[in-house]
Every structure is written in C-alpha cells, then in structure tokens.
Structure 1
Amino acid sequence: MLRGAARLLVAASRPRCSRFSLSQRQPLQPISSRHVSSTPSPEPTTPPSKPPRPKTALFFPGQGVEKVSMLTPWLDAFPRTAKPLIDEIDSILGYKLSAIIQDGPPRKLSLTPHAQPAIMATSILILRVLEQEFGFDTEKRVDYTLGHSLGEFAALVAGGYLSFEDGLWMTQRRADAMAAATQAAIQQYGGEYGMVAVVTEPDYLPGLISAIDEFVGNGRSISTLAAQDDDADVHPPPIDQVLIANINSKNQIVLSGSIERIKTLVAHVRQFLGHDPRAVRLKSEDPFHSPIMRPAVEVMRDILAHEKSRASGRQNSEIVVWPGKIPCVSNVTARPFESREELKDLLARQCLETVRWWDSIRYLDQECRVRRWVGIGPGKVGRNLVGKEVGMRGKDVVKGGGVWAITDPSEIEECLRGLEETEHLVDEPDE
C-alpha cells in the first residue's frame, strides 16, 4: 500500500509532455547534410503554461500530543530512514531521548524537557520519511509552513531556516528554560500553574477576548509585557497575571498562568458577560505563553544572538539561515517572517506571547488562498483545528484541496493520493 503511494507521488512530480513532443520528433542530422532554407524560420511558439497547482501549507503540532512508543510504527515500516535519524537525535541531545519516547513511562515523557524535543524530532522524522522513502520534494510541493508554539521549530526546519541539528538543540534549550521558569515561579510565589482551554460560541469570542484583556492587562499588549523587566512598580508580579496563551479557533482560546487567578477570571466572565463558556484544564503543568515564561525569552534571545550553528558544514555560521526556502508564518504576527532579525526577535518572544493560530490559518486561507493543508507529526489536534476552520461544514473537505494529517505510516497513502488528485485543480476566485 505504501509503495503504491510512492508511485502516486512520482507520477505527480513527473513532467507532463505534449503528446506530439516526443513521438513525432525527427532524428537530428549532421549539419553538412541539412538543407538550409533561405526563408527565415518562424519564431518558436511558447508552449501553454500549465495551470498552477493549489497552494499547500505544511503544519506541525505543539506540546500535548506526545505518546509513548510513537516512533515504533516508523521504525517498523521504514528502518532505513528512521534508525539513523533516531541515532542522530540522541547524539545531538547527548542523552537517550529515544528510550524515553519508546519506553516512557508516560509521566516522564510528558515532562516539558522531554515532550518538546520528542514531538519536534518525531515530526521531522515523519517529514524525512516522506522525502526519502516517497520522493516528496518539500521545497517544490509546499508553499508555506507553520507550527503551533513548539511546532514552529519544526516548521522552520522544514522551511529551510534552521538545520535539524540546530532546531532540535534549540528546542531542548527552550524546553529546559520554560520548565525552569515554572519552578522559579513556584519557589518565589508558591501556588499552582497551568493552562485552561475556554470554549464559547463564535459570536461571543471577540467580547470574551476584550473582557479578558481588560481584566488582566488593563489594555496593555503582550508585547509590552514581554519587553518589561520584573519591577513590580511597572506591572503586577507574574503570579497576578494571566494571559491568553492561544487563540486556536473561532470558538476556543487558552488561558495560562496562576490556576487560582484563571478560576477567578472565568468566574468574572460568567458573571458579567452573560454566558457560560466551558473551561477545561489542560494536562500541562507549565504556564506556557504567560509572564511566568519571561526568563525563557532571555535565554532564547541569548542563544539567537550569540550561538553559532552546530550543523555539519555550517559551523561558525549564524544559527538562522536567511533567506529560507519556503515562507514560514510566525505565531506572534500571523504573517511570514520578513527578515533574519525579525525571525530571531519573534522566535525568542514566542514562548511568552499569544499563539495567533486562528489568525494564521485565516491569513493563509483568505489572503494566500491555501487550499491543501498537510499536518505532519504526532496527534490529530492540529488537523482538527485546521479542518474546523477551513473545511466545508467544519470537515476536512476543502474546495479544490483538502486537509490531511500524517501521524502514522498508514495515513501516508491517503495524503499522497489526495495531493495527486488535487494537483491540477484550478483555484477559481470566489464570486
């Protein structure tokens, strides 16, 4: 079945010739035996251009999708590609992350310093299987990349802005810094931290966001918070701050920070906004994208400013490659990175600032007219969020394209067949 998918992909990438171009071409003769005409030859006609294929986005998941043994199906199906890359993962990190992924226990794998590099590494392993086992040419077949929070590092690797070595190493450093920031807050302030998803009706979402901003930030932007120091006279201590960590869809946001403060905020919303949003505690014990993460921003800024690449052949070069090969959409701005310096700034800040996932999807769907969406990595959360936003009637059906996810080898054939079947569809503008 998987080899059949490989043949589909090869057929999709093979150039299509006119039916007259090869079969009726005459053999070349030596110059001396050719008849030279006195009449000028007609200008060669330009072959009609092939209709452009629908635009394609590759997206990668964030934390929370990790699963013990998630590498096993890939090792079993594609040992030639998976085994060397898994050895490389352990070598880059300096410890046996692969053993934690394969053997767990789940509690150990879900710890931020293990979960983040595990998800990022698994995502890139799946992409490498597509490239090496099925001939998938990422640069030629993909128009945009993006990733949810942690997934942005995999998106930058796929887009050619980071080597795999540098991307994985930075992911580990980021995860360590974020976990350390949580522990520092607990030691300094006490209390319980985490994240809570809030689900409401789409019509209520703008008012909900405004009310939360007013309640917790007094109108200040998250960018302002990211730039401030820890002077309590300038802003409240982190224990008193809750921020919107993610705007995931038209009806879901995620709050992050002190759990006690989040409960107070949700009660405030229920009392004064006239509706009762559903609040669900996420399993993460780290308050990602909240002011607690400010120390991690400084760690990432220092890495991006001073560390050199660890990739073979790029030693002593800057970690960030510019330009990349494929536009990559930033979590912070919901637009593609525009320069090396902007990328370094936004990548450092993104562990504190709101993940504008919904805005990113809307930008690609409405302004860039992306019609094919391919999720790469463990779990189906990303596919569900994307499908709900761009699919017809909230499903994975998109006019002129579709939404697919490759989380397991059994899903490769469906995805590649879908890409092949939509390769030559013309995206007609909406009337």
Structure 2
Amino acid sequence: MAFAILFPGQGAQFRGMGADVFDRYPGLTQFACDLLGYDLPALCRDDPGEVLSRTEYTQPALYTVNALRMFEREHREERRADYYLGHSLGEYNALLAAGVLDFETGLRLVKRRGELMAAASGGGMTAVMDVPAPRLREILAEDGVEDVDVAGFNTDTQIVVAAPAEVLRAAHEAFTRRDVRFAPLRVSAPFHSRYMEPARAAFENYLREFTFREPATPVIANVTGRPYGKGDVVRLLSEQLVEPVRWTDAVRHLLALDPGTECEEVGGRSLLRMVQKIRRSADRTPLRETRT
C-alpha cells in the first residue's frame, strides 16, 4: 500500500506555530532568521499586528515550520513516503522533501514568491461550495460577470475563484441571488489567476538563477495534477502563480495509482479532509490522520 505525505499552504498558519520545533533546531532556525532579516520564532509566537497573515511573512514562516516538522519526522525515522503533495506554497516543502532543492534554496524562493505576491493588490479570492465549475461559469455569464478565474479545485464540492475587487463583488451578488454558498478568503490579491502574470514573469526570472535536482520521490504538481517530469521545476513553479491549484486532479491521480494509498499531513488535517471528500464516493478506506 502506497504512502503519501501532504504539506499545507497559506491559510494553515496560526499564532504560536513552530513552538514545537524551533528550539529543537536552533541552527536552522537561526539561519532562517538571518536570511529573512527578522526573529521568526518571535513573529510566530507573538504575531504583532497580525503580521503573520501578511503574505510576505506567511510564506517563509509556514515553509520553515513545515520543513522543521518534516526534518523532525525524518529524525524519528518514520515511514518514508512514496509520493509527496503540497497545496500551493506547500509544494515547496514537497520538493524539499523529495530532494529537488535544499532548505536554503526553498527559503529564498518562498521569500521572493511572498514578496511578489504581496506586491499584487486590488482583488481577492472566494471559495464557492456545491457548484460544479461549468454551472459556476453559467451563473456568472447569466449575470454578465466577466473576468473571474477559477483559481483552485480543492474538492468536488469546493472551487476557489479569483478576480479584481469590483468583479468579485459582482460575483458575490450573483451567488447570493441564487443561494450559492460562498466564503471570501483572507488574501490581498487574486492569486493563481491571470492577474498574477507580472509576478509570474518576475518569479520565472528569479527561478532561473537556481539549479534543481530531479525528484528522488515523485512529487505531484498543482499545475498539472501529475508528477513532476525532467526539467519541470522552473516552468511549474512559475506557472503555479497564474494557474489554478488542481488539488482534486492531483489526489485523483494519486488514488488512481493506488486506491488504498494512506496519507499523512504535516502539521494539520485540512488537506486530509479534502482527500477524504475526494475519495469518499469510490473508496471508504479511512485515512490515517497523524499530527506531526
């Protein structure tokens, strides 16, 4: 039976995160502080002014905590993964775990990624429940709401959309008129959409400054829902900024490879709940919910 490890992305951060691992890895923690230019454990512990919710701080903080938890898991010599998956930012931790990049490279990348994404503004994202993508597009077309991008396929019953602020407000009105359930996300820009193209172009140039190894363990990509191939890193990580997170496709591919695949999420359960929803109709095998 195959075994997959999942890494959460932005949205999984919380005040106090990392308290279980910072002290056990003082060298790596201090290295991260020096590279980032601020006291990361103090930021996570105190979250002054809710700084931790700001993209440029969220991304390197969550990447570092995910990484330390993964190192702790490896130190305990727990079961090795057959596959790695990460949701959006979490894909960097999946690539780290698979040996594609080292801790420093990953931290430099997510620091720059966070800065570029934080610089984008004027829009947002909304989770829409229980409406398939074709019907969602019909609803928006019926009300003349254009320029909304699908930014994520989290499960069969939850889709994320992104758009400029005024367009998103019109979309919310259309949803309300039809009793469609939706929840605006606490983000500052329309991530994973066409509106991130300037950030994508700048980030692609930055990515080309680094050298990447081929995965020692398969990593299933957000952009394609399929494993990384040879030489895919620059393309897939840059495209991730403008393409939807195809989490549903990624999980379906994983389960097609082995329907009985067990999954473990690093640091939480939100991704496990998504996996359970995706597989529920075909496979009632419970996932092992392990908090590391």
| TM more than 0.5 | yes
CA RMSD after TM alignment: 2.6
Equivalent residue letter for 1:86: T
Spell out, residue by residue over 1:174-217, the C-alpha distance to the aligned partner (whole angstroms, 9 max, x if none): 000011122xxx4xxxxxx21111001xxx4143255379689x
Identify the residue that residue 272 of structure 2 maps to in structure 1: 383
Spell out, residue by residue over 1:41-88, the C-alpha distance to the aligned partner (whole angstroms, 9 max, x if none): xxxxxxxxxxxxx1011111111111111111334xxx4x33222112
Are 2:135 and 1:208 equivalent residues in the alignment? yes
Identify the residue that residue 162 of structure 1 maps to in structure 2: 101
Paired residue for 1:350, among 240, 244, 252? Answer: 240
Identify the residue that residue 47 of structure 1 maps to in structure 2: none
Q: Name the CA distance, whole Å, in 1 between partners of 2:49 and 2:72.
A: 25
Identify the residue that residue 110 of structure 1 maps to in structure 2: 53
Q: Does structure 1 retain, via aligned residues, the 8 Å contact 2:269–2:289?
A: no
Q: Percent identity among equivalent residues?
A: 32
Q: Name the CA distance, whole Å, in 1 between partners of 2:142 and 2:41.
A: 43
Q: Does structure 1 retain, via aligned residues, the 8 Å contact 2:84–2:220?
A: yes
Q: Name the CA distance, whole Å, in 1 between partners of 2:290 and 2:140.
A: 34
Spell out, residue by residue over 1:119-167, the C-alpha distance to the aligned partner (whole angstroms, 9 max, x if none): 11111111111111x1236xxx211111111111111101111111101
Match of 2:288, SS? strand
Q: Name the CA distance, whole Å, in 2 between partners of 1:198 and 1:329.
A: 24
1:131/1:209 CA distance change after superposition, 3 Å: same
Paired residue for 1:146, among 85, 103, 107? Answer: 85
TM-score, normalised by the number of residues in structure 1: 0.62
Q: Name the CA distance, whole Å, in 2 between partners of 1:106 and 1:154.
A: 27
Q: Does structure 1 retain, via aligned residues, the 8 Å contact 2:140–2:171?
A: no
Q: Does structure 2 retain, via aligned residues, the 8 Å contact 1:61–1:148?
A: yes
Identify the residue that residue 77 of structure 2 maps to in structure 1: 135
Q: Does structure 2 retain, via aligned residues, the 8 Å contact 1:198–1:280?
A: yes
Q: Which has the larger radius of gyration?
A: 1
Paired residue for 2:7, among 60, 70, 81? Answer: 60
Identify the residue that residue 339 of structure 1 maps to in structure 2: 230
Unpaired segments ≥5 residues, structure 2: none
1:370 Cα deviation from its structure 2 partner: 5.1
Q: Name the CA distance, whole Å, in 2 between partners of 1:170 and 1:136.
A: 28
Number of residues paired by the alignment?
292
Identify the residue that residue 258 of structure 1 maps to in structure 2: 164
Q: Name the CA distance, whole Å, in 2 between partners of 1:335 and 1:214.
A: 31
Unpaired segments ≥5 residues, structure 1: 1-53, 187-192, 219-239, 309-317, 407-411, 413-431
1:212/1:350 CA distance change after superposition, 3 Å: farther
1:268 Cα deviation from its structure 2 partner: 4.0
Q: Name the CA distance, whole Å, in 2 between partners of 1:266 and 1:112.
A: 24
Identify the residue that residue 289 of structure 1 maps to in structure 2: 192
Q: Equivalences for 1:217-366 in 2 at 5 Å?
A: 241-268=147-174, 276-305=179-208, 307-308=209-210, 318=211, 320-321=212-213, 323-340=214-231, 342-366=232-256
